[in-house]
Amino acid sequence: MAASGAQGSAADRLAQRREYLGSFGFVAALAASETVASAAQQAVERIAETFDAEMAAIVQSDRLIASIGYPAGAAPAADLWATATGDETAILVPGCGKCSASSVRLEHPPGATLVVARSGPAGLSRSEISFLNSLARVLSLRMSMLRLVEEERALREESERQAAEVAHLLEILAERQTKLEWLAGEQAALRRVATLVATGVPQDRLFAAVAEEVSKLAKADSVWMVRFESEDTVVVEALWERNPSGVDISSGFKIDGWYPAMTVQRWARSTRIDDPALLGGEIAAVWMRLHVRSAVASPIAVAGRVWGAVVVATADTDPMVADTEDRVARFTELIATAVSNAEASVALAASRARLVAAGDDVRRRIERNLHDGAQQRLVTLALKLRNVRDTVPGELADLRGQLLSIESGMNDLLDELREISRGVHPAVLSQAGLTPALRSVARTAAVPVRLEVQDVKRLPEAVEVAGYYVVSEALANASKHAQATVVDVAARVADDTLRIRVCDDGVGGADPALGSGLIGLQDRVEALGGSLMVASAKGVGTTIEVDLPIAESSAPPPALGG
């Protein structure tokens, strides 16, 4: 003892005072502990220091709660428990041999015991054990409190964990919902475009629609639908802009420097650019004005060649999302189909037109041959015959009668020939146009015709011929098949279109599919880009309506679809 030589009672008083003071440090250490485990560890360390004991431990059955004095992880829990239950009164402490042990039951955790061992001949004194009991009560109280706090904390953490999990699930759900909505939006957009393709809307309308749909899905600021006109020129077929800039796209652009378009044209694959400073050529200035920051271009491949591209651009500082190429590609496939259809349609119409024109040429030649050849010769022969008849003496009345009969037969033949040649290709049509030709055919029709013609002047030959044959065929059908008593024919020009309507009061039931001459009419009309509509319900007569576009060129305007 430091106060060596002091009286026993003085030493006791000193010890009491030290214990009293030691409890302050003990309480302070426990108060600073935030968990049961750290409070237990602090307690054994402080108790070892307070009693200058080499070992202190808390055991619960053979479970070690905390210890000091053994190498870390090497405390003998079973031996300590034997000491705690009183089965043993000494315990082996490393470096100290068997040490006298004192144990004090803790109120908390239930069944736990505090064991203290100190080297030297004697164990703790009675007063020291009393003091140890006091510390044990404080420790129990503190550990009990901390247990409640820990349980409350665990509960709160579990609650927070569950809340976080729910939030996470909701987040995933929201993400999937968004994705689903987006996919639904994409599908709807694709369906709308596919419908436009199927119904064969004009190309410019389709392209504009695609550009707008793509802009919504790609969240783009502008969408450029371009066609590679040549190796170095790009034509902008459609441009959609979030904020119309008035950029002039009418004359197209040189492709040089427009790297996304160049890459698509050269390599037939999607590409993107995230640094507009890399652009050059004409487009660089345009895109700079539009503040384009990044762009994605996808090819439109038609029949194995790169026909054009869809270029999606944004002014956003964030690059376009990663799958923009895939999104755009789904639309370019539809565009490719539409372009392919349109090109096939144009080719078909041109082929039909060539066939009709060739037929008309043949008819015109036959009519001219008849008019200039057989007809003229018959007229000449008839004149000669009349001259011969005039020279026949009166007494040869029989001969005159025979000649007159021959002459009459020749005139009939001539009329018949005229009639045939008019059916082949009426000369009046070529010479005077559609209106006189319609009057002529109405006049000679086998069924009474009420003809009404408005503002029909000279039209392109192909249109006049088609219009003439529509009316001729309709009138022939009305007399031959429909048993009509009257036919109304109306022809007028409106909106650069010749509109003809033939309406009879016959039996109806006409069907182009059944092989009437209507099929030929339909081919002829559609070869000119026009349309033919037949309404012929049984018992209510037949109505044929034809629209023929009046184009300067013989080729029909481009149209989409079949």
Partner 1 sequence: MERPRWFAVGRACPSDDRPGYRAADAALVGDDTKLLVVFCSQHQDVVEVVRQISDRSGGAPLIGCSTAGEIAPGGPADATVVVAALGGPGFSVSTSLAEGASKDLRGAGVRAAAAVDGADDAERPYQLLMLLTDGLAGDQQEILRGVYGTLGAGIPLVGGCAGDDLSMTRTFQLYGDSVHSDAVVAAALRSDAPLGIGVRHGWRPVGEPMVVTESAGTRIYGLDARPALSHYLERLGISPSECSSTEELAQVALTHPLGLGSRGEEAHVRFIAGADFGEQSLLCLAEIPSESLVWIMAGDRDSVLHATDAACLESLSALEGRPPLGMLAFDCIARRSVLGEQGIKGEVDRIEVMASGAPMAGFYTYGEIARKKGVHGFHNQTLVVLSVG
Q: Enumerate binding residues for partner 1 (CB under 8 A).
A: 1-3, 14, 17-18, 21-22, 24-25, 28, 45, 48-49, 51-55, 68-72, 74, 93-96, 118-120
Secondary structure letter of residue 276 according to DSSP = G
CB of 13 to partner 1, least distance (A): 11
Q: Would you call 311 helix, strand, or coil by DSSP? A: strand
| Residue 181 CB partners (closer than 8 Å, separation 6+) | none
Q: Which is nearer to partner 1, 17 or 176 (CB)?
A: 17
Q: State the amino acid at position 394 in one-letter form.
A: G
Nearest Cα neighbor of 266 from 228, 294, 240, 235 is: 228
Q: Which is nearer to partner 1, 53 or 290 (CB)?
A: 53
Nearest Cα neighbor of 470 from 539, 397, 415, 524 is: 524
CB of 15 to partner 1, least distance (A): 9
Q: Which is nearer to partner 1, 69 or 530 (CB)?
A: 69
Q: Which is nearer to partner 1, 96 or 410 (CB)?
A: 96
Q: Which is nearer to partner 1, 14 or 247 (CB)?
A: 14
Please return the burial class of 134, using the count of CB atoms within 10 Å of its CB with bins 0-12, 13-18 and 19+.
Answer: middle
Q: State the amino acid at position 252 in one-letter form.
A: G
Rg (CA), the chain: 54
Q: Would you call 345 helix, strand, or coil by DSSP? A: helix
Q: Which helix (H) or strand (E) holds 30?
A: helix 8-32
CB of 60 to partner 1, least distance (A): 20
Q: Which helix (H) or strand (E) holds 524?
A: helix 518-527
CB of 185 to partner 1, least distance (A): 57
Q: Which is nearer to partner 1, 11 or 413 (CB)?
A: 11
CB of 214 to partner 1, least distance (A): 59
Q: Which is nearer to partner 1, 68 or 84 (CB)?
A: 68
Query: Taking a C-beta distance cutoff of 8 angstroms, is the pair 216, 331 a contact?
Result: no
Q: Which is nearer to partner 1, 93 or 560 (CB)?
A: 93
Q: Which is nearer to partner 1, 28 or 321 (CB)?
A: 28
CB of 186 to partner 1, least distance (A): 57
Q: Which is nearer to partner 1, 13 or 291 (CB)?
A: 13
CB of 93 to partner 1, least distance (A): 5
CB of 4 to partner 1, least distance (A): 8
CB of 116 to partner 1, least distance (A): 12
Cα 24 to Cα 50, 56, 135, 138, 139: the distances in Å are 11, 19, 10, 11, 13
The whole-angstrom separation of Cα 207 and Cα 335 is: 8
> Concatenated DSSP letters for 247-267?
---TT-EE-TT-HHHHHHHHH
CB of 243 to partner 1, least distance (A): 58
Nearest Cα neighbor of 57 from 47, 70, 48, 44 is: 44
The whole-angstrom separation of Cα 194 and Cα 198 is: 6
The whole-angstrom separation of Cα 164 and Cα 514 is: 73
- At what angle are helices 324-369 and 397-424 packed, to 10 degrees? 170
